[in-house]
Amino acid sequence: VEGPFQGEFGTWFVYKHDAAEVLTYRASLLVAALSVASGAALASFPSLLSTPPPPAWSFDVCAGLFLASFGVSLSTIHIYMKPLHDMLKVLWTSGVVGALAVIAADPSHSLVLSTVQHPVQLLGSGWVFVALTGLFFKEFACFQRWEASALFALVPIITGGHFLGLLDSGAEGAMLDALALVFSFFAVRKFSQPLKADIGDKTVFEFLAQREAEAEAEAAAQQN
């Protein structure tokens, strides 16, 4: 599809499967962003339009779409440091398991409503937001885009502020709206980057994979 590119340990190309993975990563980020934006819009409707509050399940649909699409993002993101990548996946998995536990244990069986009313529930589902913060840190470290740095700050401020009871409803709502707007802008802008930007240097990935395989082979030989 694209190339050749000069890498640290040789030349490399972008093939069709690489392009498909990058587009899946970007599309899943967009779905995650739109899910957050939809939830923020639903929360704003009663005050803006003087309408009754939306049903609790509508927020949970947005949350479910966010969790699923963000999981796809983590499975298709390219990170040189495999332990870091694995840690983000573990955090996401812990958050999903915690979210399911909240839904099962709460009388309303609503993840979002329960978490809004009982911030301590973030001890279950909040690990997903730790992983999301990690993704934004990776994006800023790689591309130095202002929206990634803003999201890196907004996510822990909103979740931590809610958990500790430091934010009133007005400030929390305003920051959630800002998060939704910046996240959506971030996700749309990802499509303007060249494909190779989200792939990284494939020769580095190949080198690291080879070193890992050699280390595993050496460990197995020592055990025998």
Can you tell me the mean pLDDT for 141-161? 96
Sorted by sequence, the CB contacts under 8 Å of residue 22 that are 6+ apart come out as: 76, 195, 198, 199
Copy the structure tokens of residue 90. Answer: 């573990």
Q: What percent of the chain has pLDDT over 90?
A: 80
Backbone torsion region of residue 151, taken as left when φ is above 0, otherwise alpha when ψ lies between -120 and 50, otherwise beta: alpha
DSSP state of 25: H
pLDDT of residue 220: 84
DSSP string, 45-91: HHHHH--PPPPHHHHHHHHHHHHHHHHHHHHH---S-HHHHHHHHHH
The rounded distance, in Å, linking the Cα atoms of 178 and 151 is: 9
* Exposure letters 10-19 (e unless 16+ CB within 10 A, then b): eebebeeebb
Cβ–Cβ < 8 Å for 94, 71: no
Paired residues of 91 in beta bridges: none
The rounded distance, in Å, linking the Cα atoms of 88 and 132 is: 8
Q: Which of 146, 202, 217 is nearest to 11 (CA)?
A: 202
Q: Which three-class secondary structure state does DSSP give residue 221?
A: helix
The residue with greater pLDDT, 45 or 175, is 175
pLDDT in tens, 171-186: 999 999 999 999 999 9
Please state the length of the chain: 224
Cβ–Cβ < 8 Å for 182, 151: yes
pLDDT confidence band for 221 (50 / 70 / 90): confident
Q: Count of CB atoms within 10 A of residue 114's CB? A: 21
**pLDDT at position 47 over 80:** no
Task: Compute, in degrees rounded to 10, the torsion defined by CA atoms 33, 39, 44, 50.
Answer: 140
pLDDT in tens, 56-98: 999 999 999 999 999 999 999 999 989 999 999 999 999 999 9
DSSP string, 164-181: HT-S-HHHHHHHHHHHHH
Q: Which of 203, 208, 194 is nearest to 13 (CA)?
A: 203
pLDDT of residue 216: 81
Paired residues of 5 in beta bridges: 12
Cβ–Cβ < 8 Å for 43, 55: no
